[in-house]
Chains A and B, each alone.
Chain A
Amino acid sequence: MINDTQWPRFQVFVQVKPGQPFLDYGSVHAPDAEMALLNARDVFARRPACVAMWVVPAEGIFSKTAQELKTWDGALSSVPAETREPYYVFAKSKSAGTQTLLGQVEANSPEHALLTALKTYKNNKSAFAWWAFPSRLILSSQEQDIPSLYAPADEKNFRLSSEYKTVTAMREIFEQNQDD
Chain B
Amino acid sequence: MDIATKNNLFELILALADDELILGHRDSEWCGHAPILEEDIAFANLALDEIGHANLWYALLADLEGEHSQRYADQLVFWREAQDYRNTQLVELPNGDWAFSILRHYLFDSAEIERLNALAECSHPLVSETAAKIRTEELYHLRHTTAWMRRLALGTVISHQRLQAALNQLWPFTGQLFHLSAVPEGLDELGIQIDSARTNWESQVIPFLADCQLRLPDSPVLMQNRQQHSHHLSVLLSEMQSVARLDPRAGW
Contacts and interface: CB of A to CB of B under 8 A. Distances in A.
Top 3 nearest A-B pairs by Cβ distance?
Answer: A39-B38, A148-B139, A42-B42
Interface of B: 36-39, 41-42, 45, 49, 136-137, 139-140, 143-144, 147, 151, 252
Contacts, number: 41
Interface residues of A, number: 21
B51 to A, nearest CB: 12
A172 interface: no
A165 B143 contact: no
Nearest to B144: A38
B252 to A, nearest CB: 7
A7 interface: yes
A41 interface: yes
B79 to A, nearest CB: 22
26 contacts: A7-B36, A29-B36, A29-B37, A29-B38, A30-B38, A34-B147, A38-B42, A38-B143, A38-B144, A41-B140, A42-B38, A42-B41, A42-B45, A43-B38, A43-B41, A147-B136, A147-B139, A148-B140, A148-B143, A149-B140, A152-B49, A152-B136, A152-B137, A152-B140, A165-B252, A166-B252
Contacts of A50: none
A42 B42 CA distance: 5
Contacts of B139: 147-148
A166 B136 CA distance: 33
Contact of B137 (A7, A148, A166): A148
A48 to B, nearest CB: 14
A35 B252 contact: no
A149 B143 CA distance: 10
A165 B250 CA distance: 12
A43 B144 CA distance: 13
A58 interface: no
B38 A28 contact: yes
A46 B140 contact: no
A159 B31 CA distance: 19
A46 B151 contact: no
Given A35-B147, A151-B136, 10 more contacts: A29-B36, A29-B38, A30-B38, A34-B147, A38-B42, A39-B42, A41-B140, A42-B41, A148-B137, A149-B140
A35 B37 CA distance: 13
Interface in A7-63: 7, 28-31, 34-35, 38-39, 41-43, 46
Contacts of B151: 31, 35
Contacts of A46: 45
Nearest to A166: B252
A38 B149 CA distance: 14
